[in-house]
Amino acid sequence: MLAGCNLFGPTKIKEEQIIPAETLYGAALKDMDGQKYLTAIANLEKLERQHPYSDYNEKAKLMQVYANYRIGKFNEAIAAADRYAVLFSASEDMPYVLYLKGNSYYGQIKDITRDQQIAENAIESYNRVIADYPKSEYAEDAREKIVVAYDQLAGKEMSVGRYYLGQGQHAAAINRFKVVIDKYQTSTHIEEALYRLTEAYLSLGLISEARTATAVLGHNYPSSSWYKEGFALLGKQGLTPEVNPSSPLATAVRRRG
């Protein structure tokens, strides 16, 4: 009978001390200035919890995005950015919030062997900055980071394409290299992709396509070491680069020519 009884009376839950919103906000600002971001985040979260309708809430949510981003808590920064966007979509700080969200994805781009959805998400966020706020101070940097993110995606396609090529799965390899050429023409992988196409097409006996791939490579990157290798590879079979006008690759010459 005693087992179900609390001999010491009901347990008291310690109530959280209510601190004025302006005090919490001021403390958070001071912490931010001192780069004490974890303490700042704790004060900002307390401000939201204790004063959900405070005039400080908009700035508090913005500061949470920045503070989490600064200490590398990227997922928390992304979540904070999404909350801010839902509540304050018309805010003049929206381009900055979207930019920080993009940076939070960008900061997680590790290497080409990992899932590249993060790079896609970074590109999506940066594109929103560029499309919705083209005159903002963040648009130009967003464009530059998109180039890097695209390079990451192209690198993934190249890695898979090389694997297929090494396994003798030439058709699958060709599909991967063509993705690089069609979608990521600004990437640093475009030259190798054209060379690898030459390799794969020759292996399948598609001579016209192989000659076209090397011709496109030479037209766009005449000084490239990949072009020299492609030229030599064709030469071993008594072939020279030549564009087949009916090849889909021929349009790459017209785009860049």
96 and 183 both lie in a single domain: yes
Sign of CA dihedral 70, 73, 78, 80: negative
Mark whether 23 and 52 lie in a shared domain: yes
Expressed as residue numbers, the domain containing 234 is: 189-257
Q: Has residue 236 been placed in a domain?
A: yes
Residue 256 and residue 215 in contact, taking contact as beta carbons nearer than 8 Å: no
Burial (Cβ within 10 Å: 0-12, 13-18, ≥19) of residue 223: exposed
Residues 128 and 183 in one domain: yes
Q: What is the CATH number of the domain that holds 167?
A: 1.25.40.10
Q: What is the pLDDT of residue 126?
A: 97
119 located within any domain: yes
Specify if 10 maps to a domain: no
> What pLDDT is attached to residue 6?
54
Q: Is residue 166 domain-shared with residue 217, that is, in the same domain? A: no
- Both tokens of residue 191? 């030259």
B/e letters for 197-212, b = 16+ CB within 10 Å, e = fewer, are: bbbbbbeeebeebbbb
172 and 193 assigned to the same domain: no
Structural domain contains residue 23:
yes
Asked whether residue 157 is domain-assigned, the answer is yes
Residue 234 lies in a domain: yes
Domain match, 106 and 174 both? yes
Residues 101 and 145 in one domain: yes
As a residue count, the chain comes to 257
* 62, 31: one domain: yes
| Whether 200 and 255 share a structural domain | yes
State whether 181 and 195 are in the same domain. no
The gap from C-alpha 242 to its chain's centroid, in whole angstroms, comes to: 37
**What stretch of H or E contains 40?**
helix 37-50
From 169, 188, 207, the end of a domain falls on: 188
Whether 165 and 200 map to the same domain: the answer is no
pLDDT (tens, 9 = 90+) of the chain, 257 residues, equals 445 555 555 555 567 788 898 999 999 999 999 999 999 999 999 999 999 889 999 999 999 999 999 999 999 999 999 999 999 999 999 999 999 999 999 999 876 666 789 999 999 999 999 999 999 999 999 999 999 999 999 999 999 999 999 999 999 999 999 999 999 988 899 999 999 999 999 999 999 999 999 999 999 999 999 999 999 999 999 999 999 888 888 776 555 54
Q: How far apart are CA 227 and CA 135, in angstroms?
A: 40
* Number of domains comprising the chain: 3
Q: Please, where are the H alpha helices in 133-249?
A: 139-166, 170-183, 190-204, 207-220, 225-235
Q: What single letter denotes the amino acid at residue 5?
A: C
Three-class DSSP category at 243: coil
Last residue of a domain, which of 158, 188, 218? Answer: 188
Reduced to 3 states (helix: H, G, I; strand: E, B; else coil), residue 160 is: helix
Give ∠ CA 131-134-138 in degrees, rounded to 5. 105
Q: Is 83 inside a domain boundary?
A: no
* Among candidate residues 163, 188, 213, the one where a domain is terminated: 188
- Does residue 194 share a domain with residue 184? no
pLDDT of res. 257: 44
Residue 7 domain-assigned? no
